[in-house]
Amino acid sequence: MRKSVRDVQESARLVGRRGLMLGAIQAAVVATLGWRLKTMQLDRSDEFRLLSDGNSIKLRLLPPARGLIHDRNGVLLAGNEQNYRVTITREEAGDVSTVVARLRHLIPMTDSSVAALLAEIDRRSAITPVSVADRLTWQQFTSIAVNAPALPGVTPESGLSRSYPRAGDFAHVLGYVGPVSDYDLSKIEDPDPVLMLPEFQLGKVGAEAKLESILRGKAGSRRVEVNSAGREMRELDRQEGEQGATVQMTLDAGLQNFARQRLGEESAAAVVLDVQTGDVLTISSSPVFDPNLFVRGIGSAEYRALMDHDHRPLADKTVQGVYPPGSTFKMVTLLAGLDAGVINGGSRFHCPGYTQVAGRRFHCWRRGGHGSVDPVQSLEQSCDVFYYELAQKVGIDRMAAMARRLGLGVRHDLPMSAVAEGIAPDRAWKRARYDADWQVGDSLNAAIGQGFVLASPLQLAVMTARLATGRAIEPRLVRAIDGIARPLEDYPELGLNPAHLKIAQTGMDAVMNGSRGTAARARTVVPEWRMAGKTGTSQVRNITAAERARGVISNEQLPWARRDHALFVCYAPVEAPRYAVSVVVEHGGGGSAVAAPIARDILLFALAGGLPPLDAYPPGQRDAVEEMRAKLQLDTPQLPRTARVRA
């Protein structure tokens, strides 16, 4: 059948359009191939020529700079310093033993370190760089760079290493970083590739470990040209990484330094809280250690000395250490009794020096007794019998509930290692722990902070802050991240009867300022800085009836490890509380004689924003205070004082 002229013309138009489209596609393909040929043969000819000559392009990760840590005033607590090191990559080195032997002529290496290095190289992937030496001198670093042609696979690197400019002051709270171990990697489900870099530093303990995710930063990368001998020829391009976040802590470097020196070489701890915000201003454990030793590689002898020290310098006593709180717990028992309605502000108990329960005598610390005492006097004179009698009326479950209400027996969430929960025991706790019934004697011991009760210095500071304010203060350690302030909590009321709380506060005031106060010698004479506090002495040994009959052995006559713990808690100013302090001195003896003066000095330093004038102390103590200060070597930043003594 013949097609019409119109059909022929339509077919011709369709063929023409298709031909044009096909031609356009072919032209685009040809243009793309031409552009690619031009790029490879002209623009990147040098690169491909080098590759054809045996060179290769390698992608190297760039470790990010670790985030900085400052105190509340901007003082650097953890920073980074220049570090020269050298690495070796097995794939590029060829004969590793020969290369390492050549390196020994340039940098000092012992036979044992060489053996360890070769074992590490064999264990690692062939493409993973392995650290040969760290913290090289400039001369060593340049000598390796000059001899690079004879050292295939060896790469001298300039990087950053962690440093702690204030040494031991913040060792326990900040912790330290160290090289990534196999154990570290085993705890991470999908490890960041940057962790495989030689000598990359990871937070091991303390805030460095707890804040690792924000301090680490993000790795960068660079493309380098490596010749057939494994030597880097040039850098082709670089993409810098992101530095870790800058963290501002709530800590005060000047106050921390003073607290550390005031604790001296005692096995002790001190905590200072801002009772309005919950900011931890000081959290100091003694003795200290230098965290820089762990970053740079601590020797076995140095580490063994730290481990064998009877004062346990590696332990953070502020949050890990838990102690019988002794008489500092009496405010808990008192408030439990007042809250339950079993006593009131006018209730009195007679103290003959002991309480007899089930044929057993529970003794007061004052052998002759205190006579008839009311709640305020019971705190002022720290009468044990008052609390033995009260414990039998109020019961352990109410005491435990009040303890938790005041922050004891509760784990406070701080970015520190192994923060202890402590123990606020009750009937259910003993049944679960020992499968035994609670006894009346257990309640009497708990009422004075002995027996099963355990608390950390941090918890005692929180308890004191809550007693001072009547609010559920929680401690916080991070103030800002990358300049963005962390929001302050609106701490709720504890729900305590204000009249009951006032009784406890008045009793603590009397401890410092009453005529029979157990800490009267540790008071301050400046009205604006009037203190309230409570002494505590907790036994670590049993006193037998025979010893009590012939006279209790004094702490000074006992070996150090068998002496009582000394405790003290306080806050000031009484009329408008600002700071709360807790001090625990392991095996220090009496809380009033040992812990109270330390806490008083730390609290005055906080109130004054530096060393307070001597006229803040009672006249008879000023010479001794001046002598004590002369022995200090303060490393205190010069900052404006937040308060001053009135002339």
CA 29 to chain centre: 63
638 is a domain residue: no
| Residue 640 in tokens | 């404006």
23 is a domain residue: no
- The percent of residues in the chain predicted with pLDDT above 70, rounded, is 89
Q: What CATH number has the domain bearing residue 370?
A: 3.40.710.10
Q: Annotate 133-146 with DSSP letters as a single string.
A: E-S--HHHHHHHHH
User: For residue 177, what are the β-bridge partners?
Assistant: 203
- Exposed (0-12), middle (13-18) or buried (19+): which is 280, by Cβ within 10 Å? buried
CA 34 vs CA 195, 422, 538: distances in Å: 43, 76, 88
Q: What CATH number has the domain bearing residue 245?
A: 3.90.1310.10
Element (H or E) spanning 583, and its range? strand 579-585
Confidence of residue 135 (pLDDT cuts 50, 70, 90): confident
| Residue 343 in tokens | 């006593």
CA 367 vs CA 137, 362, 371, 593: distances in Å: 67, 11, 11, 19
Phi/psi at 40 (nearest 5 deg)?
Answer: -75, -40
Same domain, 389 and 466: yes
Contact by Cβ (8 Å): 384, 451: no
Q: For residue 129, is pLDDT > 60?
A: yes
27 is a domain residue: no
Same domain, 212 and 271: no
Q: Is 111 left (phi over 0), alpha (psi -120 to 50) or beta?
A: alpha
Task: Output the average pLDDT for the chain.
Answer: 88
Confidence of residue 587 (pLDDT cuts 50, 70, 90): very high
Within 383-500, strands assigned E span 478-481, 484-485
Same domain, 402 and 429: yes
pLDDT (mean) for 516-532: 96
33 is a domain residue: no
Same domain, 439 and 495: yes
Task: Provide the domain count of the chain.
Answer: 2
Same domain, 138 and 274: no
pLDDT, tens digit, for every residue of 547-577?
Answer: 666 667 777 778 888 889 999 999 999 999 9
Q: Is the dihedral of CA 464, 469, 470, 474 positive or negative?
A: negative
49 is a domain residue: no
pLDDT of residue 506: 98
Same domain, 204 and 258: no
Of 326, 251, 240, the C-alpha closest to 595 is 326
The letter for the amino acid at 460 is L
Q: Distance between CA atoms of 603 and 270, rounded to whole angstroms? A: 10
Q: What is the 8-class DSSP label of residue 448?
A: T
Element (H or E) spanning 77, and its range? strand 76-88
The letter for the amino acid at 130 is V
Q: For residue 136, is pLDDT > 60?
A: yes
Same domain, 219 and 263: no
72 is a domain residue: yes
pLDDT, tens digit, for every residue of 207-217?
Answer: 999 999 999 99
Q: For residue 641, is pLDDT > 50?
A: no
Contact by Cβ (8 Å): 87, 129: yes
Same domain, 245 and 271: no
pLDDT of residue 475: 98
Pairing of strands 69-70, 247-249: parallel
6 is a domain residue: no
pLDDT of residue 565: 92
Contact by Cβ (8 Å): 443, 391: yes
Calculate the CA dihedral of residues 410, 445, 342, 582 and round it to 10 degrees. -50
Among 221, 249, 277, residue at a domain's last position:
249
Contact by Cβ (8 Å): 296, 308: no
What crossing angle do the helices spanning 396-405 and 330-340 adopt, rounded to 10°? 110
Same domain, 237 and 364: no
CB contact set of 75 (below 8 Å; sequence gap of 6+): 166, 253, 637
136 is a domain residue: yes
Same domain, 78 and 214: yes
339 lies in which domain range? 253-286+319-630
| Residue 79 in tokens | 């920073």
User: For residue 362, what are the β-bridge partners?
Assistant: 355
Same domain, 260 and 189: no
Same domain, 435 and 470: yes
Contact by Cβ (8 Å): 173, 286: no
What crossing angle do the helices spanning 384-394 and 330-340 adopt, rounded to 10°? 40
